[in-house]
């Protein structure tokens, strides 16, 4: 199976040959890959060099935490790559976006009203958790749609707070 894998703007053509071999841009490596006790911590031995890493699935990519550094990595197989190229490569800059609570907490303040125009990076809501007040910011320009919470409400993790259209 062939994949196109991008890390920080660099593209690699990674082929999984079999359980013990992968090739990167044509160069074949001997690999030994294990999940450490079923956790998102993985051990990888490449040609005798031992690496250990946390690998989390993000919303659009894989987050590889390796020796104190986080690498956002996108992995696409050839079919996915072709499909995306056909769709014009458009990321969700349009359409409805739901702002969800990144953690459970208490809504301290909602800084916007329904129908308000917002800019990317603008603070739209303050969520208190673990004694800290956290600013939730707009991920892109848009208009505030429905607001589903109000100040003083407690929210669960991933609960939808409001929508941006």
Q: In this chain, which of 20, 21, 28, 40 binds another protein, going by CB under 8 A?
A: 40
Which span sits near another protein by CB under 8 A: 73-81, 88-96, 113-121, 144-152? 73-81
> Which H or E run contains 128?
strand 123-129
The alpha carbon torsion through 94, 96, 100, 102 (nearest 10 deg) reads -10
**Cβ distance 144 to 112 under 8 Å?**
yes
143/157 with CB nearer another protein: 157
Distances (CA, A) of 29 to 45, 128, 152, 157: 10, 48, 56, 41
> Residues interacting with another protein, by CB under 8 A?
1, 3, 5, 7-8, 10, 12, 14, 16, 22, 24, 29, 31, 33-35, 37-42, 44, 46, 51, 53-55, 57, 62-71, 73, 75, 77, 102-105, 129-132, 134-135, 157
């Amino acid at each position: 199976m062939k994949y196109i894998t991008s890390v920080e703007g660099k593209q690699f053509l990674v082929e999984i040959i079999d359980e013990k071999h992968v090739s990167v841009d044509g160069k074949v490596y001997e690999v030994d890959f294990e999940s450490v006790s079923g956790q998102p911590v993985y051990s990888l031995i490449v040609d005798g060099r031992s690496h250990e890493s946390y690998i989390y699935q993000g919303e659009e990519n894989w987050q590889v935490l390796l020796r104190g550094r986080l690498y956002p990595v996108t992995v696409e197989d050839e079919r996915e790559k072709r499909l995306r190229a056909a769709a014009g490569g458009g990321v969700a800059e349009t359409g409805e976006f739901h702002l969800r609570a990144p953690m459970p907490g208490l809504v301290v303040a909602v800084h916007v009203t329904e129908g308000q125009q917002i800019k990317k990076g603008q603070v739209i809501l303050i969520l208190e958790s673990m004694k800290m007040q956290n600013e939730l910011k707009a991920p892109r320009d848009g208009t505030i749609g429905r607001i589903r919470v109000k100040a003083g409400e407690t929210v669960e993790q991933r609960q939808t707070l409001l929508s941006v259209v």
